[in-house]
């Protein structure tokens, strides 16, 4: 989970080309939000390029809601946690899959999203991961309704969107990978619960393999930022400190980015704890930040501890 993905930018034109058949699997890791994921999955019926398969990676059958009865959807049950649930889905993939798409269970894609990323991968053979263009992100506020998301997508101007930002660290709410690029890779399951920076870590592994990581302008969508099912403030605050340091030691984040993440979140939580937003547990996050700093200073590098707080 990461609300501020990305880095430098450059412009590049995406060209059209003859389309071969591409096997595309869309994966949702979901828990405790069956109504939300049902609404989101139903929007895939409007995609101009339909996915070949859809996987719901759940903790219990109830997580899939009414989708469990659909014959075109595979429901998998496994360990809880974003990284673990994504790994469950990755291990289920057949050899025929060419592209793997990960959507959060509260991400609403434009009808052309899959078409846009398929063209990008087909034309740019050195690209291993593509992130879409989030035009509205409810994670930064109280959250957005489905109606608001659909309105934002319908009204967003569609001209001059044929651009690429390169490099761009993947944002987990909407990212796609070339299957051959991620062969043998797993999301780090020490990054428990909602992961916090698991997308950056996974993308960094691809970059070390020599693949480009980019964002494209015409694969746009809206992240609802649904608050139901989110982790506690204390747990998230702990991850905001420990996870960046852990990833720096793995070689997935620069020291500059680590400092930006930790001190930016610490300052924000400290200042806003005096007049917190009603939808954010600022004091809990601040307490988690402090616990994370104490563990770091004591030499304890345990991102999985967040699950026990």
Strands (E) in the chain, as ranges, are 24-29, 53-58, 73-77, 99-104, 107-109, 127-137, 164-165, 174-178, 212-223
Q: How far apart are CA 232 and CA 237, in angstroms?
A: 9
Position 297 scores a pLDDT of 95
175-227 pLDDT, tens per residue?
999 999 999 999 999 999 989 999 999 999 999 999 999 999 999 999 999 98
User: Domain residue spans in the chain?
Assistant: 24-223, 233-304
Domain 24-223 class? alpha beta
Q: How far apart are CA 67 and CA 75, in angstroms?
A: 8
Write out the DSSP string of 98-162.
-EEEEEETTEEE-TTHHHHHHHHHHH-TTEEEEEEEEEEEGGGTT---HHHHHHHHHHS--TT--
4-38 pLDDT, tens per residue?
444 444 444 444 445 668 999 999 999 999 999 99
Q: How far apart are CA 85 and CA 195, in angstroms?
A: 11
150-176 pLDDT, tens per residue?
999 999 987 788 899 999 999 999 999
Q: What pTM was estimated for this model as a whole?
A: 0.91
Q: How far apart are CA 211 and CA 8, in angstroms?
A: 16
* Closest residue by Cα to residue 197 from 233, 244, 232: 244
The pair phi, psi for residue 80, each rounded to 5°, is: -75, 160
94-115 pLDDT, tens per residue?
999 999 999 999 999 999 999 9
Q: Are strands 53-58 and 164-165 parallel, antiparallel or unpaired?
A: unpaired
């Amino acid at each position: 989970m990461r609300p501020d993905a990305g880095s430098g930018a450059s412009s590049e034109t995406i060209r059209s080309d003859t389309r071969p058949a591409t096997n595309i699997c869309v994966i949702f890791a979901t828990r405790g939000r069956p109504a939300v994921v049902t609404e989101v999955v139903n929007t895939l019926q409007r995609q101009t390029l339909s996915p070949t398969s859809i996987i719901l990676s759940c903790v219990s059958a109830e997580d899939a809601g009414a989708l469990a009865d659909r014959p075109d959807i595979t429901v998998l049950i496994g360990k809880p946690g974003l990284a673990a649930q994504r790994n469950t889905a990755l291990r289920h993939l057949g050899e025929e899959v060419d592209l793997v798409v990960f959507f959060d269970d509260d991400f609403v894609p434009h009808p052309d999203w899959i078409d846009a990323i398929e063209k990008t991968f087909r034309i740019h053979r050195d690209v291993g991961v593509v992130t879409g263009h989030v035009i509205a992100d409810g994670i930064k506020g109280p959250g957005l309704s489905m109606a608001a998301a659909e309105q934002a997508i319908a009204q967003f101007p569609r001209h001059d969107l044929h651009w690429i930002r390169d490099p761009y660290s993947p944002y987990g709410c909407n990212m796609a990978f070339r299957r051959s690029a991620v062969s043998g890779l797993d999301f780090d399951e020490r990054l428990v619960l909602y992961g916090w920076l698991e997308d950056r870590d996974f993308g960094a592994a691809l970059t070390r393999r020599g693949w480009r990581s980019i964002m494209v302008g015409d694969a746009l969508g809206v992240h609802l930022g649904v608050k139901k099912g989110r982790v506690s403030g204390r747990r998230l605050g702990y991850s905001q400190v420990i996870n960046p340091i852990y990833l720096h030691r793995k070689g997935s984040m620069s020291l500059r980015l680590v400092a930006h993440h930790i001190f930016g979140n610490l300052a924000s939580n400290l200042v806003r704890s005096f007049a917190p937003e009603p939808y954010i547990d600022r004091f809990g996050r601040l307490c988690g930040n402090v616990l994370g700093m104490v563990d770091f200073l004591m030499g304890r590098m345990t991102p999985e501890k967040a699950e026990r707080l």
